Amino acid sequence: MSWFDQTITYDRKAPIGTVYYDQSTFIHLTRFFDNMKLVTAVDDAAMADFGLQDDHIVLGLEPTTTPYHLSLSATPEFAEVAKSMPRRKFLLYSPLDPPYPVNPLTYIMNSPTIAHAYEHKRYFRDEFADLINLPEYVVKRLDDLNEESFTELQTMFGDKFVVQEVESSGSKGTFIVNTLAKFKTAVDSLKKISYSGTVVISKFVNGASCSVQVCVTKYGIFTGGLQKQLVDSPYLCNTDLPEVTKWCGGELGGNYPEILKHRTQEIATIVGSELASHGYRGIFGIDLIVTPENDVYAIEINARLTGYTHILSDIQYAKDKIPFILLHTLELGNFKYEVDDAEALPTMGSLDDAYSYLILNNQLETAQVLEHRIRNGIYRVTEDGLEFVKSSFSVADLPDENHVIILCRFKKGDTINRGARILKLVKKGQTMDPATDDLDEPTQALIKTIKQHFAIKG
């Protein structure tokens, strides 16, 4: 009997499913449930590479020109699948807004009302301004912003400040402004995408862009390790492409000072307790700025799974801890479960080793066709390039920093849209240069090797 079987008790045979464009986000759950279905829009190459083709359901939808904007869980095609499996519950990446094509109890998700309220940048600040460390801010209407406003904001916040659309997610809708020209560009760009016409303008805090994942459960509120964010890396995305997500991953975990861990934990617990009081359960993320003096500022909440969730959960499992993704699923699915060994509950202290998660996007200004098959699994990095080792998605199978996991949902001949993600890379160790907050030179060389090996343009 493994450590896991002695740690947590639940029904492994519970019928669950996941529905998403990129099932590598949920593939780790196949370890924990014996009756699981993975639903995608089109055929996902990783499913066959990992021997999961019998558990893979393809909706047969044409890829959209803006990936991920269409929620698969709201489509008539998904409704037909769900209705054919009436006892199965489907885990979502983020809460789905009504109207629902099937009984909403089919979805494993938090209330969209609660999630949207806390993800709204103004409401978040108004709620927590007196409870946690937040940058100074004001709320303005876009129509009221002009040259005179720029002068007033500089008087208020200094030469550099941040302008954010209150409802945007990820790096979209966020502008760092230090000149009148950049201010005008930000305002004009936000007017094109803003539904509310409202922005939050904050004092720029000099520090590293970080985040932390939190999981609300019946056993308490648990915090993952600090996650360094890599945004707008010219080695991984085209920084000049408008209106595409430019989050490129970053680093997870590492040996940080205790005061920094304490301040992060304090913010996570306060925010988690407030969300729990309104019925929120499972995973959410907090975006942070960490200063050189180890001060921690909260920026916003992502009331959903995050881009790091599957990597964090995999690391936790490799370190004999109950992973966040399993706790999240059990909590929101209202499945009965009991933790038999409290020592196996995940803690921030169990993530002192650093791991990197990098996303290579299509850097061309147009779509490109994938010329070679990208086999999903572990590769060894050699002087001559890459050498495939085995089919695995787990960091537990990485022997050293010269081995990497490569994940790609596309097949040879598939068309990949401008700005879309081509592949994801997971490896042990750090990959970011603290002086630039971008890739260090060895990792730049690694990305170049990967692009050459698979003939990826850009």
List Cα–Cα distances, 299 to 120, 286, 391, 424, 426, in angstroms. 11, 7, 38, 26, 26
Interior angle at CA 200, CA 194 and CA 204, nearest 5: 125
Answer whether residue 70 shows pLDDT above 80. Answer: no
Residue identified by tokens 């086999």 is 375
So what's the pLDDT on residue 169?
A: 60
In contact, 239 and 232? CB cutoff 8 Å: yes
User: Which pLDDT belongs to residue 166?
Assistant: 87
- For residue 354, give both structure tokens: 């650093």
d(CA 103, CA 93): 18
Asked whether residue 66 carries a pLDDT value surpassing 60, the answer given is: no
Residue 340: DSSP 8-state: S
Is a pLDDT exceeding 90 seen at residue 2? no
Q: Quick one: pLDDT at residue 349?
A: 82
Q: How many CB atoms lie within 10 A of CB 345?
A: 19
Tell me the pLDDT band of 281, cut-offs 50, 70 and 90: very high
- Condensed to tens digits (0 to 9), the pLDDT of residues 400-437 reads 999 999 999 999 999 999 999 999 999 999 999 999 99
**In whole numbers, what is the pLDDT of the chain averaged over residues?**
93
Top mean pLDDT of 70-84, 165-179, 440-454 is at: 440-454
The per-residue pLDDT for 241 is 85
- CA–CA gap between residue 270 and residue 409 (Å, rounded): 38
Closest to 196 (Cα-Cα) out of 90, 289, 284, 123: 123
Residues 6+ apart with CB under 8 A from 306: 211, 213, 283, 284, 285
**Residues with Cβ within 8 Å of residue 401, at least 6 apart in sequence:** 427, 428, 429
429 exposed, middle or buried (CB, 10 Å; 0-12, 13-18, 19+)? middle
What letter does residue 25 receive in the DSSP assignment?
G
Average pLDDT over residues 55-80: 80
Confidence of residue 242 (pLDDT cuts 50, 70, 90): confident
pLDDT at 195: 81
Quick one: average pLDDT of 268-283? 97
Residue 65 predicted with pLDDT over 50: no
DSSP H or E run through 339: strand 337-339
Other CB atoms within 10 A of residue 183 CB? 23
Nearest to 33 by CA among 10, 53, 59: 10
Buried-state track 99-114, b at ≥16 Cβ within 10 A, e below 16: eebbeeebbbbbebee
pLDDT of residue 246: 81
pLDDT band at 244; cut points 50, 70, 90: confident
**Percent of the chain whose pLDDT exceeds 70:** 97
Amino acid of residue 396: A
Structural tokens at position 29: 């759950």
Q: Is 292 exposed, middle or buried (0-12, 13-18, 19+ CB in 10 A)?
A: exposed
CA 330, 332, 336, 341 dihedral sign is positive
DSSP structural state of residue 330: H
Q: What percent of the chain has pLDDT over 90?
A: 87
pLDDT band at 170 (very low <50, low <70, confident <90, very high): low
CA distance 164 to 196: 12
